[in-house]
Amino acid sequence: MPPDDELTFLRWLQETDLHHRGVTVPLGDDAAVVEWAGAEVVVAADAIAEGTHFLSGDEPHLVGRKALAVNLSDLAAMGAEPVFAVATASLPRGFNLSQAQAMTEGMRQLGREHGCPIVGGDTVTHDGGVVLSVTAIGRLMGAAPVRRTGAEPGYVVMVTGAIGGSRKGTHLSFEPRLREARCLVDATSRLSMIDVSDGLLLDLTRITPGFGFRLHAERIPLSENADDLHAALSEGEDFELLMAMHPDDAPRVLAEWSLDTPLSEIGEVTESGHVLIEGGVERPVAPRGFRHG
* pLDDT tens digits, one per residue of 15-65: 777 677 788 887 777 788 999 888 999 999 999 999 999 999 999 999 999
Domain count, the chain: 2
Residue by residue, pLDDT tens for the chain (293 residues) are: 676 677 688 778 777 776 777 888 877 777 889 998 889 999 999 999 999 999 999 999 999 999 999 999 999 999 999 999 999 999 999 999 999 999 999 999 999 999 999 999 999 999 999 999 999 999 999 999 999 999 999 999 999 999 999 988 899 999 999 999 999 999 999 999 999 999 999 999 999 999 999 999 999 999 999 999 999 999 999 999 999 999 999 999 999 999 999 999 999 999 999 999 999 999 999 998 875 44
165 and 121: one domain?
Answer: no
Output the pLDDT for position 125.
Answer: 96
Q: Do residues 50 and 56 make contact, with C-beta atoms less than 8 angstroms apart?
A: yes
Quick check: is 8 in a domain? no
Output the pLDDT for position 293.
Answer: 46
How far is it, in rounded angstroms, from Cα 177 to Cα 8? 30
Angle at CA 193, nearest 5°, toward 188 and 196? 140
Quick check: is 146 in a domain? no
Quick check: is 234 in a domain? yes
Q: Write the DSSP string, 134-193.
A: EEEEEEESSSSPPPS----TTPEEEEES-B--GGGTHHHHPPP-HHHHHHHHHH-S-EEE
Quick check: is 119 in a domain? yes
85 and 179: one domain?
Answer: no
Output the pLDDT for position 271.
Answer: 99
25 and 126: one domain?
Answer: yes
161 and 275: one domain?
Answer: yes
72 and 118: one domain?
Answer: yes
Quick check: is 54 in a domain? yes
**Whole-prediction pTM:** 0.92
Quick check: is 11 in a domain? no
Give the CATH number of the domain where residue 214 resides.
3.90.650.10
Quick check: is 151 in a domain? no
72 and 163: one domain?
Answer: no
How far is it, in rounded angstroms, from Cα 43 to Cα 279? 43
Find, among 276, 264, 160, 290, the residue nearest to 212 by Cα. Answer: 276
* pLDDT tens digits, one per residue of 197-206: 999 999 999 9
CA 151 to chain centre: 18
162 and 280: one domain?
Answer: yes
Q: Which domain holds residue 177?
A: 156-284
Output the pLDDT for position 129.
Answer: 97
Quick check: is 92 in a domain? yes
70 and 170: one domain?
Answer: no
68 and 169: one domain?
Answer: no
211 and 185: one domain?
Answer: yes
Output the pLDDT for position 20.
Answer: 77
How far is it, in rounded angstroms, from Cα 276 to Cα 267? 9
Q: Do residues 293 and 242 make contact, with C-beta atoms less than 8 angstroms apart?
A: no
